[in-house]
Amino acid sequence: MCQLLGMNCNVPTDICFSFAGFRARGGLTDHHRDGWGIAFFEGAGVRVFLDPAPSAASPVAELVKHYPIRSLNVIAHIRKATQGGIRLENTHPFQRELWGRYWVFAHNGNLKDFAPALGGRFLPVGTTDSERAFCYLLDRLAARFPQGAPAPAALHATLRELALEVGRRGEFNFLLSDGDWLFAHCSSRLCYILRKAPFAVAHLADEDLTVDFNQLTTPDDRVAVIATTPLTDNEAWTEIPPGNLFAFHDGLPVGLGETRTVAQEVPRRLPDHGHAPDAE
């Protein structure tokens, strides 16, 4: 299983602490050795670092670990290849433009026999099922909303429909962001933690590193960190129940309507600007 990492904040924040532990999973504390990448939204732009080498031994990852880029939304990925060779063009996260904004996407899972028809505007460069899925999502969004970006609730509802559709082909854990919202879909495994005042001391699970967030934050700061599995071993992480699409904005999960992406289940709802429900 690949590893996903996302961050959504209400003020620009660096991800150095979380990335230090996350990076170790690419060949040191875990066996994901088939490349890694990270994308930082900065205003209207995106700064992307990609490397098909294991993140634990990557000089580029070493640079990112010590490079305090401050961003409102970050998506990172450590790859364990299932489809497509270990090459730069197959390395997540992927980036495209839609409605005059950059979108960034990273996927964990394996979509079997997934070969959807594409309109031609969004085409994969590499050979992964993940990039094809990203192109398909954007293709359908562009077709559904040709006049421009919809309201967040309508966007979430459409992404939920698409997650349900694509998810029938296999595991479809993903992170998707346009630099404003961060959408997290859990097909099998994904969790998150909210950091806000009063802040605490955190210790990484994959590296012996501790940080006191009280020394790095203000009382108004809010940060949501999303990961495949918890990055720290002394904090309470919340599991996203499989078959749910959550939306994060300004460092909080926000209720935009039904979240369930499993057809046979009763739809779940989040209260507006409320916390996610407890894991089932």
Verify whether residue 186 is a known catalytic residue: no
Residue with tokens 């090459």: 87
148 near 234, Cβ under 8 Å?
no
C-alpha 244/C-alpha 226 separation (Å) is 14
CA atoms within 13 A on the CB side of 96: 22
Most confident of 21-25, 194-198, 276-280: 194-198
> What's the pLDDT tens digit per position in 107-142?
999 999 999 999 999 999 999 999 999 999 999 999
Residue 1: predicted pLDDT:
65
CA 5 to chain centre: 6
> What's the pLDDT tens digit per position in 26-48?
877 877 789 999 999 999 999 99
Task: Determine the 3-state secondary structure of 18 from DSSP.
Answer: helix
C-alpha 150/C-alpha 145 separation (Å) is 7
Q: Which of 2, 9, 135, 191 is catalytic?
A: 2
Place 254 in a pLDDT band, splitting at 50, 70 and 90: very high
Residue 268: predicted pLDDT:
44
Residue 277: is its pLDDT beyond 70? no
147 near 141, Cβ under 8 Å?
no
Q: For all residues of the chain together, what is the average pLDDT? A: 91
